[in-house]
Amino acid sequence: MRRVFAFSLRFVATSVLLLLFAPASPRAATSAGELKGGFRQPKNNGWTFVHLEGTPHQIGYQNGYLLAPEIKDMLGVVELEARHDYRKEWSFFRDAAQNMMWPHIEPQYRDELQGIADGARAHGLTIDVWDVVGINAVTEWSYYNKQYDKEHGIKTAALAVPEHCSAFVATGSYSRDGKVIIAHNNWSSYLEGERWTIIFDIVPSKGYRMLMDGLPGVIHSADDFVINSSGIAITETTISHFSGFDTNGIPEFVRARKAAQYSASIDDFTRIMKDGNNGGYANTWLLADIAKNEIGRLELGLKNVNLERSTSGYFVGSNFPISEKLIREETNFNPNDLGQSSVARHTRWEQLMAENKGSIDVASAERFLADHYDPIEKKEDADERTLDGHIELSPRGSSGWIGPYGMAGAVQNKVADATMIADMTFTAAAGHACGRNFKPAEHLSAHPEYDWQKPLQRDMDAYPWTRFSISK
């Protein structure tokens, strides 16, 4: 027994020495190098700021590692929504990510997506690159699912493509200083919106630096509010009642990220978004170029693409398609249905632009995004027809809004003027800009049909406007 014990001691001692003097494992060495330069700050008024820099894989690795708990949480949301909204298991979308999307993703973004999976796994999360692609394509799945069911003769369980967001961009005679100003609020389910609170400061080894909002684990903004270091500002709202998807196209999330990273003009942005357009997440893009003091509206359908510009005017977005040809060929939208959320909000934007011509600034933009005037009722009444949407407060429920959720509305807000864009700064408010908190327990007690969200639903508090800038 003594001999066995002595051997055990020698074995332990030798093992300790080997561990002390052995070279670092490949994983440890990789982790240290991949994380270099990346960091995360404590929450600030509901937002989490992360700084990512380096090669595509390093940027992805930092994203996955620093936001691993949030990515795990978000993966739970998209899996839950897949089962409820599309009546399909998450494996269906993982397969589509691998077999339909991956072949059309260029190497730099493959590296970044793989980096997110690698970083998250290094932080203990069980995830792979197909889950990561699936999260990034969250805004495209409704388009793909509808097309898939149509092609396979399936009576689709898919709900209509949701409306997302209200926004405007203005310059010249409409803004107080004659320069560009851009603003956007994100409309989504509160289930997603509670998590749409990441501020990304991204410094890629190639292309322009970007400051944007987004979901955890994404390479793009997804609701799309981005400023880059060439002086371009980007936002959008979705096109209502849209149908069409090209499975051989480049995923929208890849094109949106590439356009943010490499655009130095409105022409650059348009060219990149058109190249390989798959029709996924068909949007009306609102753009600003501070170097030219120029704004643009790119209405990007699958078949119809229309670009307008102005150096003294405005463009608004409320999920209201503009081109009659696009409406006729790619939607079943009725612009004369005044009760629709998109039509009502378009009406309200036009009113606000006319009433505030020559005086629009950051303060007024923040006020617009908190607006509760229902132009159909002609009174203050927070509901699905107001710019600060509160679908849960509407007596019509979600019937006047294209989307699957009665617990939905404006979930966060961003504004920037030309000076802020030049400094790579914007101001943002998590939750409703009006300051009203959303407490799901109150709503669920009256609407048990949304109990399926209960396991992952949480309070969505409203926070004050907060300024965010790139890390100096």
Q: Which amino acid is at 173?
A: S
For 376-408, the pLDDT digits (tens) are 999 999 999 999 999 999 988 766 666 666 789
Can you tell me the distance from the alpha carbon of 412 to that of 237, in angstroms, rounded to the nearest whole number? 14
Per-residue pLDDT for 18 more than 60? no
Per-residue pLDDT for 19 more than 70? no
**The residue to which tokens 């078949």 are assigned:** 303
Residue 137: phi, psi to the nearest 5?
-95, 15
User: What is the DSSP track for 44-57?
Assistant: BTTBEEEEEEESHH
Report the predicted TM-score, pTM, of the whole model to 2 decimal places. Answer: 0.92
| Domain 29-151 part of CATH 1.10.3210 | no
User: What is the DSSP track for 126-175?
Assistant: ---HHHHHHHHTTTTHHHHHHHHHHHTT----PPPPPP--EEEEEEGGGB
Q: Left if phi > 0, otherwise alpha if psi is -120 to 50, otherwise beta: which for 471?
A: beta
Q: Topology of 166-469 in CATH?
A: Penicillin V Acylase; Chain A (3.60.60)
For residues 273-296, give the mean pLDDT: 98
Per-residue pLDDT for 17 more than 60? no
Can you tell me the distance from the alpha carbon of 233 to that of 421, in angstroms, rounded to the nearest whole number? 7
For 212-238, the pLDDT digits (tens) are 999 999 999 999 999 999 999 999 999
Fold: same for 29-151 and 166-469: no
**The residue to which tokens 């463009």 are assigned:** 315
In the chain, where are the structural domains located?
Answer: 29-151, 166-469
Give which of 67, 31, 73 is closest to 49, Cα–Cα: 67
